[in-house]
Amino acid sequence: MLILQNLTYIHPNKDLLFDNINLSIHNQKIALIGNNGAGKSTLLRIVAGLLAPSKGLVSADTAPYYVPQHFGQYNALTIAGALQVEEKITALHQILDGHVTEANLAALNDDWTIEERCAQALAHWQLAGFDLTQPMGTLSGGQKTRVFLAGISIHEPEIVLLDEPSNHLDVSGRALLYDLVRSYNGTLLVVSHDRQLLNMLDTVCELNKRGITVYGGNYDFYAEQKQIESNALNQDVKSKEKALRKAKEVERESAERQQKLDARGKKKQEKAGMPTIMMNTMRNNAENSTSRLKGVHAEKLGAISQELTELRSNLPDTDKMRFGFDNSMLHEGKVLVTGEGINYGYDGDLLWKQPLDFQITSGERIALKGANGSGKTTLIRLILGNLEPDSGTIYRAENRAVYIDQDYSLINNSLKVYEQAQSFNVAGLQEHEVKIRLNRFLFTKEYWDKTCDTLSGGEKMRLMLCCLTINQQAPDMIILDEPTNNLDIQNVEILTAAINDYKGTLIVVSHDAYFLKEIGVDKTLVLE
């Protein structure tokens, strides 16, 4: 049993991250989602006992086992140290060497199979032969993730906390992770943007500043409920916009009618030869009446406008954006790249067992798949013309291609946000037009003078999409290299919507099967 009671966290700078979180979990598999900055990782660290809340309590039957998102703090440890078994392994070896002391026996705690279990767990996670004394700093991100995941079968915890566990895993690693999630029988609390993984969990909990909202189903169920909410909100916005137009029309008609009445009254008064003092009194009364009428309408308009502003502020960010990608000028079906028997070598060794034969035509959506080290990036560089093959021939038609890597290196980190947008303004848009585009992609004036190196991954992605729309004509080909890594679900949805607005040729390297399905990939090229 895991119980969170009235949890609140306030940053040292006094900014509130979240407030009054209440949640009770018993043998459930829970997805914890929310926008970047909502505090998901912070909440996991509080539950893990690594961070103290500003207010509230965490109660757990047993200590949770925590798999972090970032591993830099563990680089100085050995694999055994990161797995929290180093003391036991050391005690076991000393006992086997004849040092049978009370301290060693207490440290081992009769866990005589610890070393064997570690070897089996590491082998299961494709780390067979890795020495427990090896420093964590020598491992890749994916290997570090596998080490921590191996700890689950070693320790057999009743409560497991996973923070973006699939971020650094390739296809085979994700398959093992999915098997673990399906077979695990304890309490599982998962932060992830991997929607295939989220669909394996029983319940989705959405975190924001105001608290936590529980949706009783997997991610697809949650998405359906959010769509229903979004449709209702959009309908409310349309109704309120209609009410505002009607109120303005009534105000205009009332003003015109009052003006006519006032003018007619004035003519009658003049014809009747009323004394000036009486005419002035009646004119003042009419003006006061008109003023009161204007005040009533202004108050009503102000109330409707305020309600409309509040409704619009609650719209999902994807509904606020308009991508407006222009179509590629190439006709669909035009051959862009053809490779015949191509291969490439490093240090004299050819990369692919069999030379590659492939063709890319305009309008296709292609997934480029293969294990780590299979040459996906090399093939991308060959397609772009940054490399030439060591064998075979490659034909490239003239086209405009954009390569988008997971670090969004199209963005110049030394530029300010507005300067970055202007660098793509080849059509000569006016300053206010560029700033309108930035606002459309959620970059308000507070962002314009920030340097790009201060932006998060999701913000860089949005700025990059904004720059492509400012560039007026869409590229003929977009190549995406692990584009969803380190993005939260909100920004993955923004990227998905942008890609689905794009009608040119798309080549995508991604381990995210859900994402590939959402963007309509219709062809796969597998490297071995």
Residues 498, 481: Cα–Cα separation, whole Å? 16
Query: In the prediction, which pLDDT does 268 show?
Result: 60
- The DSSP H or E segment spanning 191 is strand 187-191
Owner of token pair 């063709």: 359
Residues 133, 146: Cα–Cα separation, whole Å? 16
Query: In the prediction, which pLDDT does 157 show?
Result: 95
Sorted by sequence, the CB contacts under 8 Å of residue 15 that are 6+ apart come out as none
CA 173, 174, 180 angle in degrees (round to 5)? 95
Per-residue pLDDT of the chain (528 residues; tens, 9 = 90+): 899 999 999 988 888 888 989 999 988 999 999 887 788 999 999 999 999 999 999 999 899 999 998 888 889 999 999 999 999 999 999 999 999 999 999 999 999 999 999 999 999 999 998 999 999 999 888 899 999 999 999 999 999 999 999 988 888 899 999 999 999 999 999 999 899 999 999 999 999 877 899 998 999 999 888 888 777 777 777 776 777 777 777 767 776 776 666 666 656 655 555 565 655 565 555 555 556 656 666 666 667 677 666 655 655 555 555 556 666 666 677 899 999 999 998 887 888 889 999 999 988 999 998 877 788 889 999 999 999 999 999 999 888 888 988 778 889 999 999 999 999 888 888 999 999 889 888 888 899 999 998 888 778 888 888 888 887 677 889 999 888 876 778 888 888 888 888 888 999 998 888 899 999 998 999 888
Query: In the prediction, which pLDDT does 241 show?
Result: 72
* CA nearest to 169, candidates 482, 496, 408, 407: 482
The DSSP-derived string for 157-186 is: -SEEEEESTTTT--HHHHHHHHHHHHH--S
CA 409, 410, 415 angle in degrees (round to 5)? 95
Side chain identity at residue 386, one-letter code: N
Are 527 and 368 spatial neighbours (Cβ–Cβ below 8 Å)? yes
* CA nearest to 31, candidates 168, 198, 193, 157: 198
Q: Could you tell me the two tokens for 218?
A: 């997997």
- The DSSP H or E segment spanning 505 is strand 505-509
- Beta-bridged to residue 66, according to DSSP, are 161
Q: Is 274 exposed, middle or buried (0-12, 13-18, 19+ CB in 10 A)?
A: middle
Residues 496, 508: Cα–Cα separation, whole Å? 12
Residues 366, 479: Cα–Cα separation, whole Å? 9
Q: Rounded to a whole number, what is the distance in angstroms from the first to the last CA of the chain?
A: 45
Residues 431, 414: Cα–Cα separation, whole Å? 20
Q: What is the pTM of this model?
A: 0.72
